[in-house]
Structure 1
Amino acid sequence: MSTEKNKEILRGGQFLVKETPCEAVFTPEDFTEEQKMMRDSVKEFVDREIWPKKEEFEKKNYQLTEDIMKKLGELGFLGVAVPEEYDGLGMGFVSTMLVCDYISGATGSIATAFGAHTGIGTMPITLYGTEEQKKKYVPKLATGEWFGAYCLTEPGAGSDANSGKTKAVLTEDEKHYLISGQKMWISNAGFANLFIVFARIEDDKNITGFIVENDPENGISFGEEEKKLGIHSSSTRQVFFNETKVPVENMLSERGNGFKIAMNALNVGRIKLAAACLDAQRRVTEGAVKYANERVQFDTPIANFGAIKYKLAEMATSTYVGESASYRAAKNIEDRIAIRQADGNSHAEAELKGVEEYAIECSILKVACSEDIQNCSDEGIQVFGGMGFSADTPMESAWRDARISRIYEGTNEINRMLAVGMLVKKAMKGHVDLLGPAMAVADELTGIPSFDKPDYNELFAEEKEMIAKLKKVFLMVAGSAVQKFGPQLEEHQQLLLAAADILIEIYMAESAILRTEKNAKRYGEEKQTEQIAMSKLYLYNAVDIINQKAKEGIVSFAEGDEQRMMLMGLKRFTKYQNMPNVVALRNEIADKLIEENKYCF
């Protein structure tokens, strides 16, 4: 059974070289009744307990954040991803994404506290802990009796996480490790009962993870709360360890396995961060729509102006596309986890490998959604005009809170380079066949192009052909770059960044088109009019971005005839037969938003 299912699910990164039928993607319209109830209960809690207190969250009310977290624990929301035997709800990956999505939209302070606790605070023990560690700590974390934090970053170890200087020294009786070092930017530090701490034993190549209980009398002290641009009520402090005694049985996983734990935690964190940006975008878009309908200038609501419609349409489109791609990947991960469990893997093994399989998609989503919420909130301020710059409106705090998301879970620059690098490594391992398709594209460049004009009768026929051509652009650029630079490709960071942007736009655009196509088939095209418009609009924008980034990449390494041939190929691969009227598309999307007076997709 699992073998049959396995055949249907694309491996991570294979979206680039294999066609995905729309029926194979999961969409928000596929939520089960249980998932819809969960979504509605989370949203109701946020609207009642968090949204009305936005002003308080901007006053650095750390106690309010802790109180809200306790309530989330009482309702079971902190234990959604935790197996039932450890007092969690044991729900699937899509459901955990859903809860993260809707809890995170009202304020970045709760989004950060929730993400740090459930993800990097609890998950490492759930996935890497011994049975004794899980039974001792996970139930307390799942119910909100205790809160967790994650101590990885140091003054000299940020993106280069494995370079930390914190030391763990075994005592003479070999019963404890003494941990000494300094950690910084530790979310939840002010109210955490437990820390996941990474330290180096002797001169080990890799760091080791430890579970450390917070005890001020055990050599643990804290810096003052950091003064930050945003997430004002998220507790962020330095943590100092001075020969903190940690029982040897509190080592997490094996000695030297800390770097692996950290990297796998980041994979999950990246896709969850993408989810955490979604409801923030919905709320910002809805706020901008309502204000545009209410604000009258020149005797008419500003919503009637084309310049405002442009902004509202683009804001809604990026939100819709982010949803489409995030839940597509989440279901792929959930299905991969189920396959591994059916094949005999434990829950922890299955989840680790399931997420790791789609690490490329996790990095893509982290970058795309974090930049979309930043752009969305920026345009939200612009729609509000001068009022948007005021702290009395929600746009100002939304913009500040959004900024950290491009740094969390690995900077967007790191994630861009990771996405391409991981794809190349998968190709070298034979997990994704890039060589064959790349060679086919190279042959096509030297062949005679077809001048037949296709007949596009079906919905998205031209758009899907365009997606296929954009994939050829990536294969052309990346294939030639790998051939030219080989293992030294990672040294050409600007080229990698350009290639990553092409990869990102392909995945996001394809996800929206597949979602809309699936829903048009089951509900009728007439009920998906604006969704069709958003999918076409996003693709149009993506083609422009890909064109620019591909040119940048090509001219950086190709010269003479090779460069001319590739630029001609790029022109061919980014050419529309029937250019969409993007002004009409934006107006259609905006008019629907204005009529409904909310984000309605």
Structure 2
Amino acid sequence: MSDITRGGQFLVKETKCEDVFTPEDFSEEQIMMRDSVKEFVDKEIWPNKNRFEAKDYAFTEEVMKKAGDMGFLSVAVPEAYGGMGMGFVDTCLVCDYISGATGSFSTAFGAHTGIGTMPITLYGTEEQKQKYVPKLASGEWFGAYCLTEPGAGSDANSGKTKAVLSPDGKYYSITGGKMWISNAGFCSLFIVFARIEDDKNITGFIIENDPSNGITMNEEEHKLGIRASSTRQVFFADTKVPVENMLAGRGEGFKIAMNALNVGRIKLAAACLDAQRRVTSNAVNYANERIQFNVPISSFGAIRYKLAEMAASAYAGESATYRAAKDIETRIKLREAEGASHHEAELKGVEEFAIECSILKVAVSEDVQNCADEGIQIYGGMGFSEDTPMESAWRDARIARIYEGTNEINRMLSVGMLIKKAMKGHVDLLGPASKVQEELMGIPSFDTPDYSELFSEEKELIGKLKKAFLMVAGGAVQKYGPDLDAHQQLLTAAADILIEIYMAESTILRTEKLAKKEGEANVKEQIAMAKLYLYKAVDVVTQKGKESIISFAEGDEQRMMLMGLRRFTKYTNMPNIVGLRETITTKLVAENSYCF
């Protein structure tokens, strides 16, 4: 087990390119699954975008039933409960490609398969699983998840919904209101979180949607995006739920909620990927067709800049998401081989990589928003019109930075979880951080390194960026100790450094692996995207590192750390960024799509 990478270890352990999983490693079965999902989206969803934008909730439900008929709702469900029982990479693959056309359907799909079905699969009793999961897996029933309340958003455990045990001990009466409930308008059951007496933590319940049992709803919310995703407030007034419908044990609801969010975070990242590919492809199409000053606007440097950046961020998102998905799958299989049940193995597997899940959620949700924003800009005035796909893509992307835990919360979580892992001895940060301190006191080497191999300088630079993080995080922990949580601006700056390291390293490793297989000459555009992404990452580390150091260090310590930051973010051979963008865009324009 010690040889298997643990969550967060990417920061202190050198990863070989052979040890990362990439989209180029999909099996024949996975490629068939991907293609069938793409065909479904192109046939059932993309041509009907206008119906989603017109808030046709009934159509969302209709297409969800078709997805159930195709088996797409059951990919992650064990075969014993009517599912396909496929691996974690497969579930991310389906989330990825089924989400490309519209955020409305993506949200309905994710809410049902993730937080609507998964809590029962992972925490339910055998009787609960047999009763409910087959109906959810087939699309006969749809699920919804009731956690958020008007006064309990990011602070999920502060909910006021009450559960009171009946005198005969046979049922609980649930009373309270929930908001932002996806799929509420057509769901058959709710996963509901409520507090029993004055318990410290909330408890989960499975409640069938029966209006005669004290369940009422407000009208559909009118939202900026995801317009045909049914979103309502749900109210429970002495709603009776049998005691056997408690999910897991009393007071374990907060644990269920947090673990569901971990899985939801990486799947949300996956669900942003095909949206980026499609936005990029649409932007390339338009730039090739739009003639100004007698030439296509795709020939203008300002437009080519945007297209290259959009493609590079999509490529990086794919690289990091599938790397983490495979690491989680490997950990799940390892746990199962050691005798754990499937649900125990999946819970622990995802929990192990909770840091990476938070990193991905932040990075990819922000990249898809930037991508859609640039897509609108490339379309110009037409991008602002509902007649083109860009404005809906931009509106749909906006929610991704809010749900599954806001990006602010996830930034703080990623660093906080890493420090906790270090305290428990799961990731050795202290040793590497001490070595960085010694290096700062020593004299830097002035030897000219050998960078003859592909990415040798880039990999050395990523190693130095890791040192920059260890320097900043180590200094912050020394300065503030247990009070570090109170310094949120410092934590979020450190998180940005951590995020860029993981994303850039994943992109470099994927491309190195691909180049060894295909030959450097055949993947020059991917090499350019990897180098471009790293260059941008170095800029972020430089800025956020400086901001962090100045916030907690003074005098000689500050000068030494700033000098160390310059050393850790310095290229020996600065890449020609304009040339890299040209290489990428030339391929995009020639292929008239995102083609990597």
TM more than 0.5: yes
Partner Cα separation in structure 2 for residue 90 and residue 49 of structure 1: 25
Match of 2:353 in 1: 358
Partner Cα separation in structure 1 for residue 522 and residue 4 of structure 2: 29
Tell me which amino acid in the other structure corresponds to 2:42: D
1:55 CA displacement: 1.1
TM-score, with normalisation over the residues of structure 1? Answer: 0.99
Partner Cα separation in structure 2 for residue 184 and residue 309 of structure 1: 43
Partner Cα separation in structure 2 for residue 492 and residue 532 of structure 1: 38
Match of 2:46 in 1: 51
Match of 1:271 among 266, 271, 277: 266
Match of 2:286 in 1: 291
1:343 CA displacement: 0.2
Local SS of the residue matching 1:246:
strand
Aligned-residue RMSD, C-alpha: 0.4
Alignment of 1:228-239 (within 5 A): 228-239=223-234
Deviations 1:64-110 (A, max 9, x none): 10000000001110000000010000000000000000001100000
1:527 CA displacement: 1.1
Local SS of the residue matching 2:527:
helix
Partner Cα separation in structure 1 for residue 115 and residue 52 of structure 2: 23
Local SS of the residue matching 1:172:
coil
Match of 2:163 in 1: 168
Match of 1:583 in 2: 578
Match of 2:173 in 1: 178
Tell me which amino acid in the other structure corresponds to 2:327: N
Partner Cα separation in structure 2 for residue 540 and residue 105 of structure 1: 28
Gaps of 5+ in 1: 1-5
Gaps of 5+ in 2: none
1:453 CA displacement: 1.3
Match of 1:130 among 121, 125, 132: 125
Deviations 1:350-401 (A, max 9, x none): 0000000000000000000000000000000000000000010000000000
Whether 1:245 and 2:259 are equivalent positions in the alignment is no
Alignment of 1:125-524 (within 5 A): 125-524=120-519
Alignment of 1:25-104 (within 5 A): 25-104=20-99
1:523 CA displacement: 1.0
Partner Cα separation in structure 2 for residue 332 and residue 456 of structure 1: 29
Local SS of the residue matching 2:186:
coil
Match of 1:527 in 2: 522
1:8 CA displacement: 3.6
Deviations 1:294-314 (A, max 9, x none): 000000000000000000000
Tell me which amino acid in the other structure corresponds to 1:341: E
Partner Cα separation in structure 2 for residue 448 and residue 137 of structure 1: 65
Local SS of the residue matching 1:186:
strand
Local SS of the residue matching 1:410:
coil
Tell me which amino acid in the other structure corresponds to 1:500: A
Partner Cα separation in structure 1 for residue 46 and residue 521 of structure 2: 35
Local SS of the residue matching 2:492:
helix
Partner Cα separation in structure 2 for residue 284 and residue 118 of structure 1: 25
Paired-residue identity, %: 79
Partner Cα separation in structure 2 for residue 61 and residue 307 of structure 1: 38
1:337 CA displacement: 0.1
Match of 1:569 in 2: 564
Partner Cα separation in structure 2 for residue 86 and residue 76 of structure 1: 13
Aligned length: 596
Q: Which runs of 4+ in 1 moved over 3 A?
A: none
Partner Cα separation in structure 1 for residue 334 and residue 2 of structure 2: 11
1:15 CA displacement: 0.1
Tell me which amino acid in the other structure corresponds to 1:542: A
Partner Cα separation in structure 2 for residue 152 and residue 11 of structure 1: 30
Tell me which amino acid in the other structure corresponds to 1:28: P
Local SS of the residue matching 1:556:
helix
Local SS of the residue matching 2:470:
helix
Deviations 1:127-167 (A, max 9, x none): 00000000000000000000000000000000000000000
1:7 CA displacement: 3.9
TM-score, with normalisation over the residues of structure 2? Answer: 1.00
Partner Cα separation in structure 2 for residue 309 and residue 504 of structure 1: 26
Whether 1:596 and 2:588 are equivalent positions in the alignment is no
Partner Cα separation in structure 2 for residue 488 and residue 474 of structure 1: 19
Local SS of the residue matching 1:198:
strand
Match of 1:539 among 531, 534, 537: 534
Match of 2:543 among 527, 536, 548: 548
